[in-house]
């Protein structure tokens, strides 16, 4: 098997979570980086396949199925997850078991590089405006953030013990344009996200690198540590939308307005199903981060 870091072009690349919002954004551009692009989600991918695309639905909670999925794969862009704050039980299977299954399958298959979609919600309980480095202690803003911190830990285990390299991207708000005032700090354009993912696949000898995924926003709260190593230079900025989103704010004094995690701090705590004040079932909707 060729290594993902032997040349700028990956032979076989796996994209998990291919049917999600970010997966759909990255699918087309990622096809230009590889000879063969495997698309995987719980269900078949919508629309016609490109000449170098292969659709392979897979449940990340099925360990044997994930091992079969990774056979012959050189590198993975791992977006597959339950992607919104929810009761822990709803998150655990895909975001904990699934991440373990993915990394263990990568070890067994000889896959050498994983680009792991972590999240800014790993540090979402820091105050808005506080500058953060990837090395600052984690402060998850909910169960979702905890599961992403677990994924970063799994990435470190599989690098230091088994030599599987990872770039863990703490992704900000990836939407076509910033949706609110918070996003003036957290926004990353689809173009910049693809640039960062591509750099994460191509850069040799990354080891296990954790970095924030954000555009060149003057109001950003997060360090560019790791960008130089990857050769990432963001091209976009949220600043042109400042006037447009200026009045879209969270309630004054609320955790959503005070802390970096934004809307995720308005979800939960979650009671037992059917309990008074407990929300109904939450369906993954792949919302802005």
Query: Three-state DSSP class for 116?
Result: strand
Burial (Cβ within 10 Å: 0-12, 13-18, ≥19) of residue 155: buried
Task: Residue 157: name the closest of 99, 89, 77 by CA.
Answer: 99
Structure tokens at 69: 């999925």
Chain-centre distance for alpha carbon 288: 12
Cβ atoms 26, 15 nearer than 8 A: yes
Catalytic residue among 82, 143, 144, 232: 144
Q: Cα-flanking dihedrals φ and ψ of residue 13, to 5°? A: -120, 135
Q: Is 144 a catalytic residue?
A: yes
Listed in sequence order, the DSSP H helices in 71-178 are: 88-92, 98-109, 143-160
Residues with a known catalytic role: 144
């Amino acid at each position: 098997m060729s290594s993902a870091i032997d040349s700028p072009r990956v032979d076989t690349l796996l994209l998990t979570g291919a049917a999600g919002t970010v997966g759909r954004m990255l699918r087309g551009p990622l096809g230009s980086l590889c000879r063969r692009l495997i698309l995987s989600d719980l269900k078949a991918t919508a629309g016609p396949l490109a000449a170098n695309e292969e659709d392979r639905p897979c449940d990340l909670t099925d360990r044997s199925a994930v091992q079969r999925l990774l056979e012959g794969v050189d590198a993975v862009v791992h977006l597959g997850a339950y992607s919104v704050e929810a009761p822990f039980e709803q998150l655990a299977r895909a975001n904990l078991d699934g991440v373990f299954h993915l990394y263990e399958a990568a070890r067994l298959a000889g896959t050498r590089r994983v680009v792991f979609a972590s999240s800014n919600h790993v540090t979402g309980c820091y105050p808005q405006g506080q500058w953060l480095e990837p090395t600052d202690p984690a402060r998850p803003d909910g169960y979702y953030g905890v599961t992403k911190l677990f994924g970063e830990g799994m990435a470190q285990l599989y690098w230091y013990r088994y030599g599987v390299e990872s770039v863990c991207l703490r992704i900000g708000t990836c939407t076509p344009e910033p949706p609110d005032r918070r996003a003036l700090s957290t926004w990353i354009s689809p173009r910049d996200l693809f640039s960062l993912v591509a750099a994460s696949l191509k850069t040799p000898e990354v080891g296990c690198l954790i970095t924030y995924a954000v555009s060149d926003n003057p109001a950003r709260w997060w360090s560019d540590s790791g960008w130089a190593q990857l050769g990432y230079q963001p091209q976009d900025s949220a600043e042109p939308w400042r006037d447009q989103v200026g009045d879209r704010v969270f309630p004054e004094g609320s955790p959503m307005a005070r802390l970096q995690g934004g809307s995720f701090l308005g979800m939960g705590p979650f009671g037992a199903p059917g309990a008074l004040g407990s929300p109904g079932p939450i369906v993954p909707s792949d919302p802005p981060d």
